[in-house]
Structure formats: C-alpha cells, structure tokens
Amino acid sequence: MSVAERAGPVAPRIPAVAVLAHYLVGYRRTWRAGVFSSFLLPVLTVVGFGVGVGAYVDRGVGGVPYLDWLVPGLIASTALQVAVAESTWPVHSNFKWIRTYHAQVAAPLRIGDILAGHLAFVLFRVLTSTAAFLLVTALFGALRSPWAVTVLPVSVLLGLAIAAPTFAFSAAVPSDSYLALLFRFAIIPMTLFAGVFFPVESLPGGLRQLAYVTPLWHAVDLCRAAALGVAPQWSVTGHLVYLAAWAAVGWLLARRVFHRSLVV
C-alpha cells in the first residue's frame, strides 16, 4: 500500500493539474531549445518531400498537388512522433532511473492523477508541435480549406490514442532496449504504410488491411479531409470512435501497470 493510501481520506488530494504544472515548470527551462526545431523541421520536410519529391509527381494525387496532399499526413505523423517520444524514455526513466513516479506517489497523489497529469503534458507537446507545423504549411499555401483548423483536435486525439498505450508499454518493459524495438517494428512501419506518403490503396491487400487497423491511418484520413475540404474515405464518427477506443483501452492498461508498479 502506498503512503498516500495509508494516509486515508485526511490527506489532501493534489489534482492532476498539479502534476501537469510540475512538467510545465521543467519544460519552461528547455522550451527555447525546441522552438527552432519545431519550425525548422516542418520547413525542411515540406521543402524536401513536398517541393522536391512533389516535382516528380506530375499530376499530384487524385488531382491534388502532391504538397497539398502530403501536408496533412505529415502533421498527423508529427503528432504520432511527438506522442511516442514523450511516452517512451521519459516514462521508463520515471520508473527505472530517476523514479519520479515513486516520489509523486509518496505525496497525496493518486495513480490516476499521476498518469493524467503526465499524459496532459504529452498532449500539450503534441498540440504545440502540430500547431507549429500547421502554421508553417499555411505559410506555404498548402492548406486548401478553413476546416484545416480541426487538424489540431484530431492530432491531440491521435496523440492520446498513441501515448496512453505507449505509457503502459514503457512502464511494463524491464529494459529500455524494448523501446527501440517499439520504434523499429511498430512506429516506423506505421509511419511508412499508413497513408502519409502515398495512398493506402496502392498497397497489397494484406498490408492495406493492416494499415486500416493503425490509429495513424484514421487520423491521416481525417486530417487530409479537413485540410483539403473533402469528405474522408471513412466515416468521421467511425474515425473518432476508433481513436477514442485506442485512448480508452490504453488508459486502462496504463493505469493497471502504474498501479501494479507503484502500489506496494
């Protein structure tokens, strides 16, 4: 039993927002180092893939210039990459190396507050990163619809759908070498084959079905439809429910692993 649970109801509860504040205070000392890359990477990516590769795609994709077609997928992919980066080694280190979670559970903090506060910080990072990408691509004139602003909430939902189960994985594995395997066998293939760089329909049938299972494809389809001002390939409600299901299952798994690891 944790110190907080032994204290009983007389111990004052510290809400999840206090945990979020803890991470924001730390981020306040380092955010300047990330601002430059937050804008430089979208510029390099758009120029390299959209303008460079796009010059070899004569008719674009579905009658849309390749840059305009590519940008929404890149934004969703950015949300994925940030969510995973913030949910792997930072979470694992909080258990194994710096043991931040153990210090937090010794305070009047519940497991749910610890988990929710850290997830909220991850979503903050996803939101700021995708907002920077959206701004850069808007300056390049690659957004064709005012509905493009809805890319931001979709990216946050994707971030939660990815971060929550990744929290559970990072908390459960005994060594950080497993985190490298996650990138190699899950994140990189998902990024390559979930419709970011080319239509999923061009894949063989088996790979296409696997692409449809990934949460990234659902976010890419929503973001692309919003940025281009067209209907998505699948139901909007279906996309949102599917991403929410990933987030909910991931939350339950993460909460269970956190409870097992922190409550003694």
157 within 8 A of 236, measured Cβ to Cβ: no
Judged by DSSP in three states, 189 sits in helix
pLDDT given at position 66 = 84
**pTM, to two decimals:** 0.90
Unique residue bearing structure tokens 């674009």: 60
Q: What is the four-CA torsion angle of 75, 189, 61, 225, rounded to 10 degrees?
A: -40
Retrieve residue 163's tokens. 């971060």
Let me know if 261 is exposed, middle or buried by CB neighbors in 10 A (0-12, 13-18, 19+).
Answer: middle
Q: Specify the 3-state DSSP secondary structure of 13.
A: coil
Domain boundaries, the chain: 3-262
Question: What per-residue confidence (pLDDT) applies to 21?
Answer: 94
| Cα–Cα dist 149/134, whole Å | 8
Q: What does 209-248 look like in DSSP terms, one character per residue? A: HHHHHSHHHHHHHHHHHHHHTS--SS-HHHHHHHHHHHHH
> Please, what's the b/e burial string for 118-135 (b: 16 or more CB within 10 A of its CB; e: otherwise)?
bbbbbbbbbbbbbbbbbe
Tokens, residue 221: 């389809």
pLDDT along the chain (264 residues), means of 10: 45 77 90 71 75 66 83 93 95 95 90 96 95 88 90 98 98 96 95 92 89 97 95 95 98 97 84
Residue-level pLDDT at 2: 46
Name the amino acid, one letter, at 184.
Answer: R
Q: Are 254 and 115 in contact (CB under 8 A)?
A: yes
